Amino acid sequence: MAFAKCFTSFLLVLCVFVPTLVLSDLSITSSNFLEHANKPEVFDWMVGIRNDLHECPELLYDVFETSERVRQELDNLKIPYKSSVAKTGVIGYVGTMEEPFVALRADMDGLPIHEMVEWEHKSKIDGKMHACGHDAHTAMLLGASKILKEHEKELQGTVLLVFQPAEEGGAGAREVWKTGLLKEVKAIFGLHVAPDVPVGVVGSRAGDFMAGSGTFEAVITGEGGHAAQPHMGIDPVVAAANVIISLQHLISREAEPGDPQVVTVAKLEGSDAFNVIPNTVTIGGSFRAFSTIRHLRRRIEEVIVAQAAVSKCNAAVNFFEDVKPLYPAVNNNEKLYDHFKNVATQMLGPQRVLEAPQVTVSEDFAFYQEELPGLFFFLGIKNETHGEEPVHSAHFDIAQDAFPYGAALHASLATTYLSDVLGSQGKQYPRDEL
């Protein structure tokens, strides 16, 4: 994901929120949690965990060492957990061990990128790097776990601490959901580090927030031949050209203006000779959309097959859903968004709680939100000394001063959700508000 620049515009739009909830127990919320998270025994501990994880990034579902470290830390905190969740996931439990249940989620996987940042905790594994900040997400959720455990007797329900594998293209969230372990959860919260947002600033929005995404490849088959005699064959190159132009019409002619959608053909392979018409041309690319993501997928297939047929070619389309599943859009529940604004405003002040713009990057947190109310937000980690390298860059870096904010917000969101939101309403938000 590439968040850089996404926030630049909305940093100028400061929002003043009117709290609609009165936080009932300030001994376990907002500034107290932040103060707690800033103490060396929490802050230094989180930084140490993040540094260790950063040195040994693992990919997709194979986050064995990371998972073991999480389990060790939960053992040390005397927090019970379930392991081997979706292969390497871990779910910790803190609170009354009875309903109501609320969940906090962190992803644990790295990326197949060779780190170019020279620092003492540089990745020790060639070709692998925590370039999306999931090492920081894991450390901050452990920080929240520590804070929540120390306030366990005050919790009015149970917080599930979800450490998830395979966010980067593997739909780990979908596999965690399939285990059934989150079935009784009333709400789920997640965060992502944002390298173009200052430390101590957060952002989110109600409704559509981050686009859904998918990948496609099409093999267009004609009948190859000599470049001098195109009439003797069926040229898949011209067919592919028409397909590519027609795919762009899905955005310019079918998408509603104001509803962000993207179709990008990024791959094009034909003959490697100047005078040979190939038998096949392969095109491939990526598409992004919000609520219309599945409709867009269907139209991409229809257009490729039909437009290829216009040129007497056949087309086979592959969406790779077994290895790169279609990600739905991140859509934040409105009431949870109000809750987030209240908690963050109490902790940070209104000037540091921003309404984020919609972005066309994706997040598998959306799979949870298809099943239960959820809220996802961005946490500023801008590193003033290294500049604004985007996530998924080999130069990506994090200002670790942000960790207490992430840990304290996680802890506060869950605690006050149990005490104030469920306490006052006694039931979960209806699905139709998703």
Nearest residue (CB) to Zn ion, 132 versus 308? 132
386 assigned ligand-binding residue: no
Q: According to CB under 5 A, which residues from 128 to 187 bind Zn ion? A: 132
The DSSP string of 32-64 is: HHHHHHHSHHHHHHHHHHHHHHHHS--BTT--H
Q: According to CB under 5 A, which residues from 18 to 47 bind Zn ion? A: none
Please report how close the Cβ of residue 74 comes to Zn ion at its closest, in angstroms. Answer: 22
Cα 117 to Cα 11, 59, 325, 401: the distances in Å are 27, 19, 31, 18
Nearest residue (CB) to Zn ion, 132 versus 142? 132
Sequence length of the chain is: 434
Listed in sequence order, the residues at least 6 apart from 425 whose beta carbon sits closer than 8 Å to its beta carbon are none
1 binds Zn ion (CB under 5 A): yes
The radius of gyration computed from the CA coordinates of the chain, to the nearest angstrom, equals 24
Q: Do the Cβ atoms of 368 and 406 come closer than 8 Å?
A: no
Tell me the Ramachandran region of residue 114: left when phi exceeds 0, alpha when psi lies from -120 to 50, beta otherwise.
beta
Nearest residue (CB) to Zn ion, 1 versus 42? 1
The reply to whether omega before 195 is within 30° of 0 (cis) is no
392 assigned ligand-binding residue: yes
Please report how close the Cβ of residue 1 comes to Zn ion at its closest, in angstroms. Answer: 4
The tokens describing 421, both together, are 């939101």
Size of the site for Zn ion (CB under 5 A): 2
Nearest residue (CB) to Zn ion, 151 versus 174? 174
Site map (CB under 5 A) of Zn ion, residues 303-342, x = contact: ----------------------------------------
Nearest residue (CB) to Zn ion, 287 versus 327? 327
Q: According to CB under 5 A, which residues from 255 to 274 bind Zn ion? A: none
Please report how close the Cβ of residue 168 comes to Zn ion at its closest, in angstroms. Answer: 5
249 assigned ligand-binding residue: no
Please report how close the Cβ of residue 137 comes to Zn ion at its closest, in angstroms. Answer: 8
Please report how close the Cβ of residue 378 comes to Zn ion at its closest, in angstroms. Answer: 11
Site map (CB under 5 A) of Zn ion, residues 394-423, x = contact: ------------------------------
Listed in sequence order, the residues at least 6 apart from 361 whose beta carbon sits closer than 8 Å to its beta carbon are 1, 2, 3, 6, 210, 211, 213
H runs (alpha helix) in 30-168? 30-38, 40-55, 64-76, 134-150
15 assigned ligand-binding residue: no
Please report how close the Cβ of residue 391 comes to Zn ion at its closest, in angstroms. Answer: 5
Q: According to CB under 5 A, which residues from 114 to 133 bind Zn ion? A: 132
Please report how close the Cβ of residue 131 comes to Zn ion at its closest, in angstroms. Answer: 7
Nearest residue (CB) to Zn ion, 92 versus 169? 169
Burial 219-241 (b: 16+ CB within 10 A, else e): bbbbebbeeeeeeebbbbbbbbb
Nearest residue (CB) to Zn ion, 1 versus 201? 1
313 assigned ligand-binding residue: no
Closest Cα to residue 109, out of 85, 88, 78?
A: 88
Q: Do the Cβ atoms of 400 and 50 come closer than 8 Å?
A: yes
Taking the alpha carbons at both ends of the chain, their separation in whole angstroms is 24
Q: Which residues are annotated as a binding site for Mn(2+)?
A: 132, 134, 168, 192, 392
Q: Which residues are annotated as a binding site?
A: 132, 134, 168, 192, 392
Residue numbers of the site for Zn ion (CB under 5 A)?
1, 132
